Amino acid sequence: MSGIAWIDARAPACAFPDPSRALRHPNGLLAAGGDLGPERLIAAYKRGIFPWYSAGEPILWWSPDPRTVFLPGGVHVSRRLARRLRRGEFGVTLDRDFAAVVRGCAEPRRDHEGTWLTPEMQQAYCRLHALGVAHSVEVWAGDELAGGLYGVALGRVFFGESMFRRRSDASKVALAVLSRQLRLWNFLVFDCQVGSPHLYRMGAVDIPRQRFLELVQRGTLGDRPAPGPWRLDDQAGAS
At 81-111, the pLDDT tens digits run 888 888 888 999 999 999 999 999 998 876 5
Mean pLDDT of the chain: 92
Residue 151 CB partners (closer than 8 Å, separation 6+)? 134, 135, 158, 159, 160, 161, 191
Global pTM value: 0.93
Q: Stretch 106-125: mean pLDDT, rounded?
A: 79
Amino acid at site 217: Q
Cis peptide bond upstream of 51, omega within 30? no
Antiparallel, parallel or unpaired: β 29-33 and 60-62: antiparallel
Domain 68-237, architecture per CATH: 3-Layer(aba) Sandwich (3.40)
Q: Stretch 144-168: mean pLDDT, rounded?
A: 96
What CATH number has the domain spanning 5-64? Answer: 3.30.70.3550
Q: Is residue 154 predicted with pLDDT exceeding 80? A: yes
One DSSP character per residue, the chain reads: -TTSEEE-TTS-TT----GGGS-TTTTTEEEEE----HHHHHHHHHTT-EE---TTSPPEEE--SSEEEEPTT-----HHHHHHHHHT-SEEEESS-HHHHHHHHHS--SS--SPPPPHHHHHHHHHHHHTT-EEEEEEEETTEEEEEEEEEEETTEEEEEEEEESSTTHHHHHHHHHHHHHHHTT-SEEEEES--HHHHHTT-EEE-HHHHHHHHHHHTTT--PPPSS----GGGG--
The residue ranges of every structural domain in the chain are: 5-64, 68-237
Contact 183, 126 (CB under 8 A): no
Please report the pLDDT score of residue 203 as a whole number: 95
Confidence class for position 239, pLDDT limits 50, 70, 90: very low
At 177-234, the pLDDT tens digits run 999 999 999 999 999 999 999 999 999 999 999 999 999 999 998 766 666 799 999 7
Please report the pLDDT score of residue 7 as a whole number: 97
Confidence class for position 114, pLDDT limits 50, 70, 90: very low
